Amino acid sequence: MDAFLQIKDVSKRFGGFTALTGVSLDIAQGERFGLIGPNGSGKTTLINCISGMLRNESGSIVFDGEDISRLPAYLRTRRGVARTFQVPRPFASMSVIENLLVPLQYVAHAKESEALDILGRIGLANKAETPTNQLSQVELRKLELARAVAARPRLLISDEAMAGLSGSEVDEVLKILFDLNAAGITVIMIEHIMQAVMRFSQRVVCLDAGRIICEGTPAQIIENSDVQRAYLGA
């Protein structure tokens, strides 16, 4: 059976700098997948290539049987690919619910009931009317997730939704991602908080300097000497 998301030999350069070199990986429908790697290893660049913010110059990205690597970002969103941004960037002058009505317009006639339903699932229902510039850090991260969910994704890519959060806040975000996955959404989690990504993921890939250096179960990744070297810089 073909994978839900097939990344085949993807490379990406920025001028003379090669950010991704021959990255290939398959993700199954319904999977909880972890993507790790030191700062600057290419995780966000890979997500940008999958979501269409960037074009990979070689290789292909096949989602649900269709090569999406030449489609503009909004069409990939319509196919069911949604991502969060590492630095949350809501529409600052709008309330929380208004921020959800915008992505909803892209996939459907924007309905307040659906936006409220999503806020309930993400634990932000009591903040619907709050201007986004009054949100705490964890609430901003939840809004980022809610905005992605408003695009009705089948694949959700979370780019460091937990960075800078306290232990209990990390648990809250982890639960949200588990719940979304249980509702049928395939999830790719990018995270530096190892304890969280290892708890969440069924399979993990580690990038280093734009190449995959290890792929396996969380236990295999933790024990891998290449991964330890990449993180320790030894």
Ligand X SMILES: Nc1ncnc2c1ncn2[C@@H]1O[C@H](COP(=O)(O)OP(=O)(O)OP(=O)(O)O)[C@@H](O)[C@H]1O
Residue ranges that bind Mg ion, judged by CB under 5 A: 43-44
Residue pair 55/61 in contact by the 8 Å Cβ criterion: no
Per CB under 6 A, which of residues 185..214 are in contact with ligand X?
none
What are the beta bridge partners of residue 5?
A: 27, 63
Q: How many chain residues touch ligand X (CB under 6 A)?
A: 12
* Shortest Å distance, C-beta 129 to Mg ion: 32
Q: Give the burial class of 139: count Cβ atoms within 10 A of its Cβ; 0-12 exposed, 13-18 middle, 19 or more buried.
A: buried
Per CB under 6 A, which of residues 6..35 are in contact with ligand X?
14, 17, 19
Question: Does residue 37 bind ligand X (CB under 6 A)?
Answer: yes
Residue pair 10/19 in contact by the 8 Å Cβ criterion: no
Sign of CA dihedral 91, 96, 101, 106: positive
Question: Does residue 40 bind ligand X (CB under 6 A)?
Answer: yes
Q: Token pair of 24, please?
A: 């290939």
Q: Which is nearer to ligand X, 45 or 69 (CB)?
A: 45
Question: Does residue 41 bind ligand X (CB under 6 A)?
Answer: yes
Question: Does residue 45 bind ligand X (CB under 6 A)?
Answer: yes
Residue pair 204/25 in contact by the 8 Å Cβ criterion: no
Among 42, 52, 153, 218, contact with ligand X (rule: CB under 6 A): 42
Torsions phi, psi for 76 (to 5 deg): -65, -40
Per CB under 6 A, which of residues 48..107 are in contact with ligand X?
86
* Shortest Å distance, C-beta 36 to ligand X: 9
List of residues contacting ligand X (CB under 6 A): 14, 17, 19, 37, 39-45, 86
